[in-house]
């Protein structure tokens, strides 16, 4: 990132080792405005690390159907996970992939860019609470995610700097 201009977006998916990239970003003088990573057992810590280096807005999007998880709907999502887990007796849950903004995304893709999803951006603390609830229910059910994958998106607000530039 030092050699080229500031990127708008990076997607990090290094299987639970995303913090390695985030720590390197902490040492860089240039950071992308948007970062996405696949939520996993270290999601709460990864959100905190991104918040510590200036990312102040977050979203959680389920990759299976592009639905947003928020502080307002997480209780409902937890209840659905319980019912689905009991109904399927431990089998993997699969959603029908939907289109987004007229574009059909292949199974396994992360879908649209983070800023394209409608809905509100949340604080780091709010997103950590959402992610902690999902981890808690997965531990309670011993279900290892029900075959669902989530992207956690982070964004830096454009804040004016003393020199008049924005970052």
Q: What's this model's pTM, rounded to 2 decimal places?
A: 0.81
CA 68-69-73 angle, 5° bins: 115
The secondary structure of 15-59 as a DSSP string is: TT-HHHHHHHHHH-S---SEEEEE--TTHHHHHHHHHHTT--EEE
**Which pLDDT tens digit goes with each residue over 59-87?**
998 887 788 888 888 888 777 777 777 77
The pLDDT value given to residue 45: 93
Q: Do the Cβ atoms of 95 and 65 come closer than 8 Å?
A: yes
The pLDDT value given to residue 163: 40
CA distance linking residue 119 with residue 135, whole number of Å: 23
**Which pLDDT tens digit goes with each residue over 105-151?**
776 677 777 887 878 899 999 999 999 988 888 888 777 665 677 89
- Give the list of residues 6+ apart from residue 157 with CB closer than 8 angstroms, or none: 56, 57
**Which pLDDT tens digit goes with each residue over 41-58?**
888 999 999 999 999 999
Counting every residue written for the chain, the total comes to: 167
């Amino acid at each position: 990132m030092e050699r080229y201009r500031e990127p708008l977006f990076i997607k990090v998916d290094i299987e639970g080792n995303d913090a390695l990239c985030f720590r390197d970003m902490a040492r860089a003088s240039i950071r992308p405005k948007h970062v996405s990573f696949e939520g996993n057992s270290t999601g709460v810590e990864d959100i905190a690390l991104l918040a510590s280096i200036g990312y102040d807005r977050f979203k959680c999007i389920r990759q299976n159907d592009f639905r947003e998880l928020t502080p307002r709907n997480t209780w409902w999502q937890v209840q659905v996970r319980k019912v689905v887990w009991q109904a399927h007796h431990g089998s993997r849950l699969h959603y029908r992939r939907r289109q987004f903004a007229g574009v059909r995304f292949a199974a396994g893709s992360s879908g649209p860019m983070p800023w394209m999803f409608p809905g509100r951006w949340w604080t780091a603390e709010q997103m950590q609470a959402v992610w902690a609830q999902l981890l808690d229910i997965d531990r309670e059910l011993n279900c290892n995610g029900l075959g669902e994958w989530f992207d956690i998106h982070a964004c830096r607000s454009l804040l004016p700097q003393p020199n008049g530039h924005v970052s």
